């Protein structure tokens, strides 16, 4: 998947707002934090808008259940799983009849139907987690915990293992950080939507409405260009599903 740096997104948005991204003023620092928050929310919307149509966002892997449960804990899968789309007995890309498997997602993981077998090997189709962003720079003297976000050399990273200090390149090679990729095909829609939202003065709710509306138009254009269908629009996603 072709990607772009987060800094290129941030810089584009700030320049659209006639703000010098290299300025170290308090106003610019605050705007960078606002941009990171809105880009994260916009990316989550865009991620779910096209989850069935863009193959790099949707993956399928083979997993074997333990006591009818497939764990979703980080480190137990090839890629971290964001949203489970479906579970099948055979690979859905190579089988004419992949045979869907009834399942539910609980706090323990993916719970398979008892009829499948407690140690069944199945194929899980899933959406990778939407990337998250921050304006906070990585610092060598800071202790980090799992889930912390930092920005370093133009990219954002999420902490996978609690640690302190070290050299960033060494920590990254040791899988203590995971880069938050920005798919290139989403760069322009995200910049356009967040720029418009940043110009909105009526609060966070209104800003998100602006993002929803512009992303819907922008991603419809992307969908036509790359020939994939709309899968639900630019809807915000909560832990309980679409709202």
Beta bridge partners of 183: 3
E strand or H helix at 197? helix 184-198
Q: What pLDDT is recorded for position 38? A: 94
Cβ pair 179, 164 in contact under 8 A: no
* Both tokens assigned to 36: 């990171």
Do 231 and 196 lie in one domain? The reply is: yes
Q: Which domain holds residue 20?
A: 3-52+180-242
Q: What pLDDT is recorded for position 236? A: 32
Q: Specify whether the backbone of 79 is left (phi greater than 0), alpha (psi in -120 to 50) or beta.
A: beta
Does any domain span residue 141? no
Q: Specify whether the backbone of 157 is left (phi greater than 0), alpha (psi in -120 to 50) or beta.
A: beta
Domain count for the chain = 2
Domain boundary among 88, 104, 127: 127
Cβ pair 219, 189 in contact under 8 A: yes
Cβ pair 124, 58 in contact under 8 A: no
Does the pTM of the predicted model rise above 0.85? no
Do 63 and 122 lie in one domain? The reply is: yes
Do 123 and 62 lie in one domain? The reply is: yes
Cβ pair 44, 22 in contact under 8 A: no
Q: What pLDDT is recorded for position 47? A: 84
Do 38 and 65 lie in one domain? The reply is: no
End-to-end, the C-alpha distance of the chain in Å comes to: 29
Distance (Å, rounded) from C-alpha 138 to C-alpha 148?
10
Do 48 and 63 lie in one domain? The reply is: no
Q: What is the DSSP string of 26-58?
A: HHHHHHHHHHHHHHHHHHHHHHHHTTTT-TTTE
Does any domain span residue 171? no
Do 21 and 72 lie in one domain? The reply is: no
Q: What pLDDT is recorded for position 209? A: 87
Classify 207 as helix, strand or coil. Answer: helix
Do 40 and 79 lie in one domain? The reply is: no
Does any domain span residue 162? no
* pLDDT tens, the chain, 243 aa long: 789 999 999 999 999 999 999 998 999 999 999 999 999 999 998 887 776 656 667 888 888 999 999 987 665 445 677 788 899 999 988 889 999 999 999 888 899 988 888 999 999 988 888 899 999 999 988 899 999 999 999 999 999 989 987 899 999 999 899 999 898 989 999 999 999 999 886 677 788 888 888 888 888 877 776 655 444 333 333 333 322
Do 120 and 103 lie in one domain? The reply is: yes
Distance (Å, rounded) from C-alpha 135 to C-alpha 205?
22
Do 81 and 25 lie in one domain? The reply is: no
Do 237 and 186 lie in one domain? The reply is: yes
């Amino acid at each position: 998947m072709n990607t772009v740096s987060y800094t290129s997104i941030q810089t584009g948005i700030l320049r659209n707002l006639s703000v010098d991204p290299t300025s170290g003023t308090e106003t610019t620092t605050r705007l960078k934090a606002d941009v990171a928050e809105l880009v994260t929310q916009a990316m989550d919307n865009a991620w779910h808008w096209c989850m069935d149509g863009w193959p790099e966002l949707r993956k399928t892997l083979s997993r074997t259940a333990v006591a009818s449960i497939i764990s979703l804990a980080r480190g137990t899968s090839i890629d971290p799983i964001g949203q489970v789309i479906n579970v099948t007995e055979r690979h859905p890309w190579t089988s004419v009849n992949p045979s869907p498997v009834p399942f539910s997602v609980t706090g323990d993981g993916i719970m398979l139907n008892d009829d499948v077998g407690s140690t069944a090997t199945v194929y899980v189709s899933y959406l990778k987690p939407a990337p998250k962003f921050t304006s906070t720079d990585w610092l060598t003297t800071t202790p980090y915990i799992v889930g912390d976000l930092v920005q370093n050399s133009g990219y954002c990273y999420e902490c996978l293992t609690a640690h302190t200090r070290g050299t960033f390149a060494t920590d990254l090679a040791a899988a203590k950080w995971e880069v938050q990729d920005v798919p290139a095909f989403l760069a322009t829609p995200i910049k356009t939507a967040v720029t418009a939202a940043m110009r909105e003065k009526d609060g966070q709710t209104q800003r998100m409405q602006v993002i929803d509306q512009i992303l819907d138009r922008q991603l419809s254009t992307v969908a036509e260009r790359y020939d994939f269908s709309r899968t639900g629009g630019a809807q915000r996603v909560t832990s309980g599903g679409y709202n």
